[in-house]
Structure 1
């Protein structure tokens, strides 16, 4: 099974860094968040990826083209013009990198990689991490017999919550519970037929395609009640960075 990752957007809400690099290449713990997402799928036994590139796509391509050098010790003999790689520590991944255009919408990006998807596939965004059990989502999807399954999450609130008594704050919560509503957390499992519901580059997957699937009762939901986070802002990045640096990153399921 393949995992498709949408990695082509402009990342305008985290422009402090996305003006220099694609949002999925912004680092958590010294490695791009895209790498963290791929490690999640690899932990679940999925090692073949289709990356939908767009904005500054060459940076993602260069990262994987030089991945062995990033992850290994090397000896470079300048006079002989040779390189010897030592202690390779690379994952058994097969990565297909497709430039789907800088302004293409999420549905359009998926439609552009259709020829690489001939069977059931996973699909997610290039900015979200979770400790969701991907194999359980896949098994659930197959039991439901539908065209697509979406992972639903209940994110925490974005702003600090205050309990107030008169003129005094009695309790402050930095990451309060949200309003209890379920939202799409990505981590889809899809059949290729989903792509036939997408009209073209301008169409968002989250619009008419998913609405039609829901209307036709072809969109199942896996409710994930544990950790999920999306890196939309610098505050989100710092939150994830702090979890990683303190050894408390819930999405680090691999050894």
Structure 2
């Protein structure tokens, strides 16, 4: 099953560095947060990725093109005709497709544009600026158990986003705006989507979290996988520093992989 990563928006400018690269390429522990997300999926055996790029998309393409340079020792021997020797080369078991989904395309439009790369099969999707210790295997079991069009992972955190109305059977009935003292759960990404979801996306101007998910919710075909573990988005410099401190301390809850 393929994993789709949204990494094309302008996003929030959380540091001077974000003026020169897309937010998913900002580094935690010396590696892009996008890499951290991919490592988690890979830990569960999902190694085929489709990256929805847009803003500064060349940065993402160039980083993956030179991945072996980032992970290996290199000898540049100019005495031997500019010979390059790669030592202890480490590569991931990944197949990565980077798609330029447009500079101003909305989230739904980006997903619609990668439909030819997904084909007529279920796929996973998440945002390129948040990490979690979601158990992907349990998420998949949950999605397969209910047979509906879409599953999204919900978490309960300090509210800054729209919240979800969730029934006792985990069906999401509606999205709504937050209130000041709201304790409801929010959409954390880490979705599993059946190919029927493409039918609800009109085009480039479609915001995925609006019309498509609202329509599927009204039909009772959107389920919430409730995650009570770690989840953290990276929308501010403070959040970026928080993740960096966790990684530096060796206590990064999202690090589910061994190396």
1:58-97 aligned at under 5 Å gives the runs 58-78=58-78, 79-97=80-98
In 2, distance between residues paired with 1:232 and 1:18? 11
- Structure 2 length-normalised TM: 0.88
Contact kept? 1:11, 1:18, Cα under 8 Å: no
In 2, distance between residues paired with 1:89 and 1:218? 42
Q: CA RMSD in A?
A: 1.3
SS at match of 1:14: coil
2:125 is matched with 123
In 2, distance between residues paired with 1:200 and 1:39? 31
In 2, distance between residues paired with 1:127 and 1:23? 7
The Cα shift of 1:179 comes to 4.1
1:254 is matched with 257
- Structure 1 length-normalised TM: 0.90
The Cα shift of 1:13 comes to 4.4
1:228-247 aligned at under 5 Å gives the runs 228-247=231-250
SS at match of 1:220: strand
Contact kept? 2:155, 2:186, Cα under 8 Å: yes
In 1, distance between residues paired with 2:48 and 2:82? 32
2:21 is matched with 21
Off by >6 Å, runs of 4+ in structure 1: none
Structure 1 unmatched ranges of 5 or more: 159-177
Contact kept? 2:122, 2:193, Cα under 8 Å: yes
In 2, distance between residues paired with 1:135 and 1:57? 30
User: CA separation of 1:157/1:205 partners in 2, compared to 1, >3 Å: closer, same or farther?
Assistant: closer
Post-superposition Cα deviations, 1:154-204, rounded to whole Å, max 9, x if no partner, equal 12468xxxxxxxxxxxxxxxxxxx842100000000111101210000111
Contact kept? 1:149, 1:222, Cα under 8 Å: yes
Structure 2 unmatched ranges of 5 or more: 161-180
1:150 is matched with 152
In 2, distance between residues paired with 1:144 and 1:105? 29
For these two proteins, the number of residue pairs brought into alignment is 236
Contact kept? 2:13, 2:19, Cα under 8 Å: no
Post-superposition Cα deviations, 1:35-79, rounded to whole Å, max 9, x if no partner, equal 000001001110000000000000000000000111011122224
2:203 is matched with 200
